[in-house]
Amino acid sequence: MSSGARERDKVFVEHCKGANGLDKVVLREVRGSSAEVYLYGGQVTSWKNEYGEELLFVSSKATFKSPKAIRGGIPICFPQFGSLGSLEQHGFARNRFWSIDHDPPPFPTNSGNKAFIDLILKPSEEDSKIWSHRYEFRLRVTLGPGGDLMLTSRIRNTNTDGKSFTFTFAYHTYLFVTDISEVRVEGLETLDYLDNLKGRERFTEQGDAITFESEVDKIYLSTPTKIAILDHERKRTFVLRKDGLPDAVVWNPWDKKAKAISDFGDDEYKHMLCVEAACVEKPITLKPGEEWRGRQELSAVPSSYCSGQLDPRKVLQGG
């Protein structure tokens, strides 16, 4: 590769040091959008639009230090979501050091994007003691020319003992919002959900858009491939598209829980909302050699206004 080509590629993908000297990768697109990915946790910690506005929430009290997971951005929950199993909360992928994957298998949809990075996680000997399976977890993080952020996970069972394994999964996305009381979520109306605040009892959501006035921790089931999150104050709509991830977790700790979380500011709940593409209700089972793929794409668009009201139907129908 010529030095000119190397310089050009460096514009799109830069390897550098982040908080506490941790390795990170900065992705940039020509129009000015950017994303940051830490090798610790394989975690996206920043996603900015072309105006340099941050679209993801990271707590001001986040600890960028092993063994604690980074509070914010897009933590990856694998091989266990929440406390649904014998492992630590949300599994171990989010507090392991991932590696750059220099030779990923080909992607069927490589659409000429230049700002992307491939990471890989394999089990260490320590991990094998707590979860006795061999796997390869490949993650591609891509920043599209229009500023869209795409995460594609490919998890393969590489056991040599003939054993299948089962896991649950989520992209635990923390979105930055201006004022949680002015946010609504479209696309989950009338769906069944499990309420984590009520022992995972099953309920059916009402017919209206979801708004927030207290703590919420729900797992919506059989959700559409597209969900819209409307930030009324900023006239901005996040569109989350997902594939292979039937569930959607919606979480905000509200004031009491926020005060109890050590790496979370007391008032920060006002400026964040987790909407998580997930596979929780029906765990995934892979036989040796089988691969699962789960993908999410985030975009941020100006909200459409119609007689003073947001018109999310346009967002949900378009594209």
End-to-end CA distance of the chain: give it in Å, rounded: 37
To the query of whether residue 172 is one of the catalytic residues in this protein, the response is: yes
pLDDT bracket for residue 207 (50, 70, 90)? confident
Radius of gyration of the chain (CA): 19
Lowest mean pLDDT of 18-32, 91-105, 294-308, name the range.
294-308
Question: Coil, helix or strand for 256?
Answer: helix
pLDDT bracket for residue 84 (50, 70, 90)? confident
Out of 29, 36, 186, 276, pick the active-site residue.
276
pLDDT for the residue numbered 304: 72
Establish how many alpha carbons lie within 13 A of residue 248's alpha carbon, considering only the half-sphere containing its beta carbon: 26
Q: Read off the pLDDT of residues 257-293 as tens digits, 9 standing for 90 and up.
A: 999 999 999 999 999 999 999 999 999 999 999 999 9
Sequence-separated (6 or more) residues with CB below 8 Å from residue 141: 25, 27, 35, 37, 44, 116, 117, 119, 149, 150, 151
To the query of whether residue 233 is one of the catalytic residues in this protein, the response is: no
* pLDDT for residue 5 is more than 80: no
Helix, strand, coil percent content, the chain, rounded in steps of 5: 15, 45, 40
* pLDDT for residue 7 is more than 70: no
Query: Can you name the residues that pair with 17 across neighbouring β-strands?
Result: 23
Query: What does the chain come to in residues?
Result: 319
pLDDT for the residue numbered 305: 46
Lowest mean pLDDT of 44-53, 169-178, 189-198, 303-312, name the range.
303-312
Amino acid at the residue 157: N
Establish how many alpha carbons lie within 13 A of residue 268's alpha carbon, considering only the half-sphere containing its beta carbon: 23
Distance separating alpha carbons of residues 272 and 58, to the nearest angstrom: 9
71 is in an annotated binding site: yes
Mean pLDDT, the chain, rounded, equals 92
| 69 DSSP assignment | P
Q: Read off the pLDDT of residues 149-160 as tens digits, 9 standing for 90 and up.
A: 999 999 999 999
89 is in an annotated binding site: yes
Distance separating alpha carbons of residues 253 and 84, to the nearest angstrom: 19
Q: Contact 152/137 with Cβ under 8 angstroms?
A: no
User: pTM of the full predicted structure?
Assistant: 0.92
Q: Give the highest mean pLDDT range of 5-9, 122-126, 195-199.
A: 195-199
Pairing of strands 43-48, 76-77: unpaired
> Which single residue is written with the structure tokens 């919506």?
220
Sequence-separated (6 or more) residues with CB below 8 Å from residue 102: 118
Distance separating alpha carbons of residues 96 and 99, to the nearest angstrom: 10
Segments making up each domain of the chain, as ranges: 13-304
Specify the fold of 13-304.
Answer: Beta-galactosidase; Chain A, domain 5 (2.70.98)
Out of 172, 186, 232, 281, pick the active-site residue.
172
